[in-house]
Chain A
Amino acid sequence: MACINPDGTLTASAQMMLNALRTPATPVELAQRTERPLFRVRSTLRELAEAGLVEEHEGRYRLTAEGAARIQ
């Protein structure tokens, strides 16, 4: 996965996205916050959601308890 290193630690991209999600946001808002292309944001959010670190509700993403605990 692009977000999680083989040793289980999070990549810099994943950390950036979790930090940007301290306030829930849509993918478009996150692209603006992180200055990353929208396709990268969508791809990263999907992987973070599969890992249980973020969750989507009515188009907005927010941290799960586990995601909040992984923020460095």
Chain B
Amino acid sequence: MSNETAEAIRPVGLPRLNEPAPAFEAVTTHGVIRLSDYEGSWLILFSHPADFTPVCTTEFIAFAEIYPELQKRGVELLGLSIDSVYSHIAWVRNIEEKTGVKIPFPIIADLNKEVASLYGMIMPGESKTETSRCVFVIDPKGILRAMIYYPLTTGRNMQEILRLIDALQTSDAHKVATPANWKPGDKVIVPAPNTVEMAEERVKAGYECVDWYLCRRSL
């Protein structure tokens, strides 16, 4: 089998939740960065289809706007697209010139698609040459904790990204889960009991329970 054929049929894999995020070293607008440089802080690695495109520009402005809130939560941002570092530099300078918004985080210039392939950011059904709108949340130990995929047509919701970070950090801090539409301040879910004995104890524990498997509590 030729290399070309092997390349053509190689399945595009996605990283898996709760496993180490794929390591990389990449050229960015802030120099060469490795995933391991982020050890000890949360990281949102996100991709966009292309520089100098309308939806991506609105997203970058929106990511820059939530960056201070992310920093309060110990979260860094790292963008990526299959563009050159010169294109990235020109684009962020253009955004600042036209809108006054400075892009404070680095952007990977993934011209050889190395990082995009590692993270399954390319959806050939949408585009073979652009990355989709992917978000990967990586925790301080380098574990992939969440993924969001949006199509080319649809800009991401920054409030949902903040909410996701809040939910993950709350789950870690208090060993709880969060219900649908949860936001900080809402009651959380007490993890379901694993045994009959634990279920019986659960209903006597004073939580707000619909039944033994669905109990809420305040933090």
A39–B33 CB distance below 8 A: yes
Number of A interface residues in the complex (CB < 8 A): 13
Binding site for A on B (CB under 8 A): 30-34, 36-38, 40-41, 76
**Interface pairs (23), CB distance under 8 Å:** A1-B31, A2-B30, A2-B31, A2-B32, A3-B31, A37-B41, A38-B38, A38-B41, A39-B38, A39-B41, A39-B76, A40-B30, A42-B36, A43-B30, A43-B31, A43-B32, A43-B33, A43-B34, A43-B37, A46-B32, A46-B34, A47-B31, A47-B32
Q: Is there a chain B Cβ closer than 8 Å to A64's Cβ?
A: no
Residues of chain A contacted by B37 (CB below 8 angstroms): 38-39, 42-43
In the complex, chain B residues whose CB is within 8 Å of the CB of A38: 37-38, 40-41
Please name all residues of chain A whose beta carbon is closer than 8 Å to the beta carbon of B38 when the two chains form the complex: 38-39
Max count, chain B CB within 10 A of own CB: residue among A3, A44, A46: A46
Q: Which residues of A contact B30 (CB under 8 A)?
A: 2, 40, 43
Cβ of A48 to closest chain B Cβ, rounded Å = 11
Most chain B C-beta atoms within 10 Å of own C-beta, residue among A1, A38, A39, A42: A39
Report the Cα distance A3→B36, complex, angstroms: 19
**Beta-carbon contacts of A2-43 to B below 8 Å, as 1s and 0s?**
110000000000000000000000001000000001111011
What is the bound-complex CA distance between A40 and B30, given in angstroms?
8
In the assembled complex, how far is the CB of residue A35 from the closest CB belonging to chain B, in whole angstroms? 12
Q: A1-B32, A2-B30 are in contact. List 13 more A-B contacts (CB 8 A).
A: A2-B32, A37-B41, A37-B76, A38-B37, A38-B38, A38-B41, A39-B76, A40-B30, A42-B36, A43-B32, A43-B34, A46-B34, A47-B32
